[in-house]
Amino acid sequence: MSGLKVVNIKDVEGIYREPARTSWILVSEKTVGAQNLAMGVNETHVGGSVPRHKHEKEEEVMYFLQGRGQFITETQTIELEPGICVYNPPGEFHSIVNTGDEVLKFVWIYSPQLEDHRVKK
């Protein structure tokens, strides 16, 4: 899968998870053949969250587009609003909580991509 690829979010099926959130995986090995990163969009619904977790080897960047929330680590709580960009290094427990009254929408990027973004071999 070499060469330029274009993905329209309208053509990608969102993955709904509990607590209430939906994620669209736009760039990954599965979608465009990417080898070194993955990128997508998350909408954490009102009252929803991304539960506490960590990535052992993946760097993660999140750019917040809409809504209000909190990015919570072991040592700090970052207030989220449109325009905030968070870099999260590997090995750091974190969670994201929608504290507002609308969808908390953000773009996420992983490098390297998560194993479930890769083609099973």
Give the model confidence (pLDDT) of 68-84 as tens digits. 999 999 999 999 999 99
Q: Is the pLDDT of residue 2 over 80?
A: no
Say which residue, 116 or 63, is predicted with more confidence: 63
pLDDT of residue 74: 95
- Residue 53 pLDDT class (50, 70, 90 cuts): very high
Q: Which CATH code fits 15-116?
A: 2.60.120.10
**Domain extents for the chain?**
15-116
pLDDT of residue 121: 72
What is the model's pTM? 0.94
- Residue 105 pLDDT class (50, 70, 90 cuts): very high
- Check: CB of residue 95 under 8 Å from CB of residue 49: yes
Sheet holding 21-27, edge to edge: 15-17, 21-27, 38-44, 104-111, 59-66, 85-88
- Check: CB of residue 42 under 8 Å from CB of residue 97: no
The Cβ of residue 23 has, within 10 Å, a number of other Cβ atoms equal to: 17
* Residues contacting 118, CB < 8 A, separation 6+: 28, 29, 30
